[in-house]
């Protein structure tokens, strides 16, 4: 019965982390470019009372006797499906349709990656994120520009006074990774490359590198399905409740054993 107590406790701990993940998904259901997370479970070590395939007398045991010792949280899987696009009509709102991440430079000089295309201009006219991190490659909009257009292939143009044809200001590049699920979340809609994600592969939107295209005046919504998350929350709650009942049953059995000596 001692096994049942610890096994059920491991299940309760795992479901608690599962609920934490679901809560984070629901909290970010309106976060631009957010990617849904899903907790993966893994069974723990088994105690072999009778090893399968062991020799016994003149025969070999076909099925052993194994006692599982519970479950644990193994990994957090990132669901990299495309979020729906929301039209904003803001010329500096840019959504990625397909694969790829924007590159931004953090204050310490390191490069971070994001799907959130909520861009602004700083006091020098440079395109930056909400937190003021400049887009890479750096693109500066002249203060007298009357309009700014960003093509689906990432070319940034601006119309200046006295010019009939727009001037090209720069080219937005996107980064892809061999394993985008291996990127580390840093908060503030930023991701960081790791050994698991591999090195960034840069390319122009719509280019041969397989990166997606850009949509000016749109933002990518979170890919969290609220209904699915509520269903997962109910399942996590029931699994937690089931494990707690196992603990209660084992405690009752211990109580019965203790009362036998009275």
Please state, as a whole number, how many other Cβ atoms lie within 10 Å of the Cβ of residue 222.
19
Same domain, 12 and 133: no
For residue range 45-80, list pLDDT tens digits in order.
888 777 666 656 556 666 667 788 899 899 889 999
Q: In the block, which residue shows the tokens 């700083």?
A: 122
The pLDDT, as a whole number, for residue 154 is 95
Same domain, 114 and 185: yes
Question: For the chain, what percent of residues have pLDDT higher than 90?
Answer: 72
The pLDDT, as a whole number, for residue 52 is 67
Q: What total number of domains does the chain contain?
A: 2
The residue range of the domain holding 215 is: 85-220
For residue range 185-220, list pLDDT tens digits in order.
999 999 999 999 999 999 999 988 889 999 999 999
Same domain, 68 and 129: no
The pLDDT, as a whole number, for residue 258 is 75
Cα pseudo-dihedral 173, 176, 182, 188, rounded to 10: 20
Same domain, 211 and 240: no
Same domain, 46 and 155: no
Same domain, 70 and 90: no
Same domain, 105 and 203: yes
DSSP 93: B
Same domain, 167 and 248: no
pTM (2 d.p.): 0.85
Same domain, 49 and 113: no
Same domain, 139 and 107: yes
Same domain, 148 and 239: no
Same domain, 96 and 195: yes
Structure tokens at 140: 């500066």
């Amino acid at each position: 019965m001692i096994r049942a107590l610890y096994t059920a406790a491991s299940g309760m701990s795992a479901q608690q982390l599962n609920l934490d993940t679901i809560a984070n998904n629901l909290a970010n259901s309106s976060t631009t470019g957010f990617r849904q997370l899903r907790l993966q479970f893994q069974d723990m070590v088994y105690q072999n009372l009778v090893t399968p395939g062991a020799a016994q007398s003149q025969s070999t045991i076909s099925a052993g006797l194994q006692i599982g010792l519970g479950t644990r949280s193994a990994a957090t899987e990132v669901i990299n499906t495309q979020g729906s696009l929301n039209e904003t009509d803001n010329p500096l709102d840019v959504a990625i349709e397909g694969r790829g991440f924007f590159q931004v430079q953090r204050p310490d000089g390191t490069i971070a990656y994001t799907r959130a295309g909520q861009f602004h201009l700083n006091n020098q006219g440079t395109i930056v994120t909400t937190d003021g991190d400049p887009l890479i490659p750096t693109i500066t909009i002249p203060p007298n520009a009357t309009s700014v257009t960003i093509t689906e292939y990432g070319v940034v143009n601006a119309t200046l006074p006295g010019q009939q044809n727009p001037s090209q200001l720069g080219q937005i590049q996107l980064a892809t990774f061999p394993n985008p699920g291996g990127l580390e979340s840093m908060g503030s809609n930023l991701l960081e490359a790791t050994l698991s994600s591999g090195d960034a592969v840069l390319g122009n939107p719509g280019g041969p590198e397989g990166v997606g295209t850009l949509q000016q005046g749109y933002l990518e919504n979170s890919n969290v399905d609220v209904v699915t998350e509520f269903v997962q929350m109910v399942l996590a709650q029931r699994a937690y409740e089931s494990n707690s009942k196992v603990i209660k049953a084992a405690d009752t059995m211990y109580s019965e054993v203790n009362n036998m000596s009275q």
